[in-house]
Amino acid sequence: DRASSKAVEIDPSLPQAHASRGVVLALRERYSEAEREFETALHLNPKLYEAYYYYARACFSQGKLDRAAVLLEQAAAVRPESFDALSMLGGIYRGQKREQLQKETFKRCLDAAQKHLEFYPGDIRPRLLGAIALIELGETERGLEWTRRALELHRVRGRRARRSGRTEQGE
């Protein structure tokens, strides 16, 4: 809390400082203050992905799903490769029973996850979110295979950490 306040105090023109402050405030469920910080960050830099994404998460936490969806679409427009924003957005559309948007969004999520995995095949998160997208798109067996691969990668990473004396928390 103090670090994010200090960052805004040191340079109030820095959008990342306001976005970071917004995240801290949202985690403390001080949503109206968080909203002001996210809005300031986006006013200072309308292309700041993190402000859109974490603002959307704060809205989601409050049940403001329409606003969260708009913010996630904006996040995805800024960073189309963001499988995180697209997965969350697809879930919102599923909950809203907006089937066509749900399908299109999970397809975008899968495409983004696959592109990421071309360069980072050992990255677990895009594999898990891609698995969700595959299952949402009706490719259950392929989604389960992606999940199995993610779990195997997680086990291998855990074994390596134990061998080197690190815990997963310490990594």
pTM across the whole model: 0.87
What pLDDT, on the 0 to 100 scale, is given for residue 171?
46
Which two tokens mark 89?
A: 């957005």
Torsion of Cα atoms, 44 then 46 then 51 then 53, to 10° = 180
pLDDT number for residue 166: 61
Sign of CA dihedral 53, 58, 59, 61: positive
- pLDDT on residue 158: 81
CA distance 77 to 56: 14
pLDDT of 5 reads 77
CA nearest neighbour of 116 among 152, 145, 79: 79
Mean pLDDT by groups of 10 residues along the chain of 171 residues: 79 91 96 97 97 98 97 97 97 97 98 97 96 98 97 87 65 46
State the amino acid at position 42 in one-letter form. Answer: L
